[in-house]
Amino acid sequence: MQYLDNVFFLILLIAGFGLFGKSLLKIYRNIRLGREINRSDRKSERWETMARVAMGQSRMTARPVAGVLHLFVYVGFVIINIELIEIIVDGIFGTHRFLSTIFGHTFYNFFTATLEVLALLVIVGVVLFFIRRNFYGVKRLTMKELFGWPKNDANWILIIEFALMVAFFTMNSSDFILQQRGVLAAHGSFPISEMTLVPFLEIFSFDSIFLEVIERGAWWFHFVGILFFMNYLYYSKHLHIILAFPSTWYANLDLYGKFNNLESVTKEIKLMMDPNADPYAAPVEGAEEAPSKFGAEDVFDLNQVQLLNAYSCTECGRCTSVCPANITGKKLSPRAILMKTRDRLEEVGRNIDKNGKFEDDGKKLLNDYITKEELWACTTCNACTQACPILLDPLSIIFEMRRFLVMEQSAAPQELNLMMTNVENNAAPWQYNQADRLNWAKD
């Protein structure tokens, strides 16, 4: 029977991790549909940024209450899952609390007691987050782009985390009583369980066999729950617990909002302005080729970091809450820009899964997901990128899509077209010649 348990455990473990690996490969494939971008420079700065922002949560503290609660859930949940190592070894070899043999009695007691305190903090965090999200009316958490799946997803994650922690305490409490009765060897210290669930379970005076069923049930629930949670991530905004790390590593270390002038366009302008330039001169070695398309019309035209950003967005809405366009009632929401980019990318991914390669589906990110109205509502103020806790850059997607509208479709708003014509004709944004600029001061 024990042998069957172990085999069943192993099959579940391999299936769970196998499915998870398959999902990660799909995400990787989808991100690679984007244009390549070289962000391998300044490596030490990148490691430092990742450690500070993703691991250290440095930007979360801008909103202290949410920041502290998030820290409870993040640190607690990550550390508690170290216990997964113990669960895996116990599950495969049929041992009981394997880490106690490695850590020794005293340190194992300290370890299990610490996990209990962290688990309690996770419960406090998820309960307060649930109340805040559903009953407190925080504007950025109740906006219309979160209606439907995004809202349910956020709630499901909190419910799953809560259930996993309750299973953890149930397992510890029944284990503790069995240890007290001498049915199981005494390993670990469980201060929170002793104060909460242990007295509750003792009210019922369950016999040891029934308590073993409870302990094993909670243990299996905890294990299967972790596998489920891991595989659920693929469909959830909670992918950020993994992708926040590469997103911060590959973040733009230069000024956000700085326009990346295309070398090929700069060259054209210089040729126009230099009467002695030879338009037929051989290209300089290593010079950037003119791209086949300017800007972005679909996800294929965005770069890989922008697509990684779309998968990493936590949908927290900090960006949208500071966006002046959104605050003044415009249709634009920087959070929605990333959410729509991810939706389109996933649609393209499903198309590839079905057909083996991408078959034109007659849709594009531009117009079918993100409208011109949203794009032109952006003031390029940069507030969204400053507010993002994991250094995502929705503004760069807006830039690229605008670039497509201007350079490929000449579809800028009338005011901009007028200004660009003036620059072209007068080398100034106004409707008169540069030489007349100071006429206003003559008298």
Q: What is the amino acid identity at position 239?
A: L
80, 122 contact by CB (below 8 A) = yes
> Which segment (145-153, 207-215, 267-275, 310-318) binds ligand SF4 by CB under 6 A?
310-318
CA distance 157 to 225: 11
3-state secondary structure of 82: coil
What mask of x and - would describe binding to ligand SF4 in positions 393 to 422, judged by CB under 6 A?
A: -xx---------------------------
Residues 6+ apart with CB under 8 A from 197: 169, 170, 172, 173
Among positions 241, 392, 401, 405, the unique one binding ligand SF4 when judged by CB under 6 A: 392
* CB of residue 157 to ligand SF4, shortest distance in Å: 15
For residue 274, the SS3 value is coil
Residue 372 near residue 411 (C-beta atoms within 8 A): yes
Contact string (CB under 6 A) for ligand SF4, positions 158-197, x = contact: ----------------------------------------
Comparison of 97 and 318: residue with beta carbon closer to ligand SF4: 318
244 counts as binding ligand SF4 under rule CB under 6 A:
no
Nearer to ligand SF4, 110 or 259 (CB): 259
Smaller CB separation from ligand SF4, 119 or 365: 365
109 vs 320, beta carbon nearer ligand SF4 = 320
Max distance between CA atoms of the chain, in angstroms, equals: 102
- For residues 205 and 305, what is the distance between their CA atoms, to the nearest angstrom? 58
**Cβ burial, residue 325 (10 Å; 0-12/13-18/19+):** buried
For ligand SF4, which is the closer residue by CB, 335 or 340? Answer: 335
Question: What Å distances lie between residue 372 and 269, 320, 381, CA to CA?
Answer: 27, 18, 18
Rounded CA separation 20/265 (Å): 43
Select the residue interacting with ligand SF4 from 302, 325, 370, 401 (CB under 6 A).
Answer: 325
Binder of ligand SF4 out of 317, 348, 366, 397 (CB under 6 A): 317
Give me the helices (H) in 144-207, please. 149-180, 191-195, 197-203
Under the criterion CB under 6 A, does residue 383 sit at the interface with ligand SF4? Answer: yes
CB atoms within 10 A of CB 115: 22
387 binds ligand SF4 (CB under 6 A): yes
Structure tokens at 316: 């927290």
Smallest gap from Cβ 340 to ligand SF4, in A, equals: 12
Instruction: Determine, following the binding rule CB under 6 A, whether residue 239 of this chain makes contact with ligand SF4.
Output: no
CB of 270 to ligand SF4, least distance (A): 29
For residues 126 and 388, which CB has a smaller minimum distance to ligand SF4 in the complex?
388
Q: Considering the rule CB under 6 A, would residue 319 count as an interface residue with ligand SF4? A: yes
State the Cα–Cα distance between residues 88 and 82, nearest whole angstrom: 10
Q: Cα(141)–Cα(308) distance, rounded to whole angstroms?
A: 23
Window contacting ligand SF4 (CB under 6 A); options: 21-29, 84-92, 265-273, 383-391: 383-391
Please calculate the CA angle 80-104-189 and round it to the nearest 5 degrees.
Answer: 50
Q: What part of residues 352-381 is at the interface with ligand SF4 (CB under 6 A)?
A: 378-381
| Residue in 315, 348, 365, 366 binding ligand SF4, rule: CB under 6 A | 315
Structure letter (DSSP) for residue 303 = B
Q: Which is nearer to ligand SF4, 154 or 218 (CB)?
A: 154
Q: How many residues bind ligand SF4 (CB under 6 A)?
A: 27
Per-residue contact flags (x/-) with ligand SF4 for residues 326 to 345, judged by CB under 6 A: ------x-xx--x-------
Work out whether the CA dihedral 234, 237, 238, 241 comes out positive or negative: positive
Instruction: Give min distance, CB of 244 to ligand SF4, in A.
Output: 9
Distance of alpha carbon 320 from alpha carbon 27, whole angstroms:
25
Does 91 help bind ligand SF4 (rule: CB under 6 A)? no
- The alpha carbon of residue 137 and the mean position of all alpha carbons in its chain are separated, in whole angstroms, by 23
Binding region for ligand SF4 (CB under 6 A) out of 83-91, 259-267, 277-285, 392-400:
392-400
Binder of ligand SF4 out of 20, 208, 324, 347 (CB under 6 A): 324
Is the Cβ–Cβ distance between 391 and 49 less than 8 Å?
A: yes
Q: Which is nearer to ligand SF4, 173 or 314 (CB)?
A: 314
Q: Which residue has the tokens 């330039």?
A: 277
What's the CA gap between 72 and 66, in Å, rounded? 10
Q: Which residues bind ligand SF4 (CB under 6 A)?
A: 313-319, 323-325, 332, 334-335, 338, 378-384, 387-388, 390, 392, 394-395
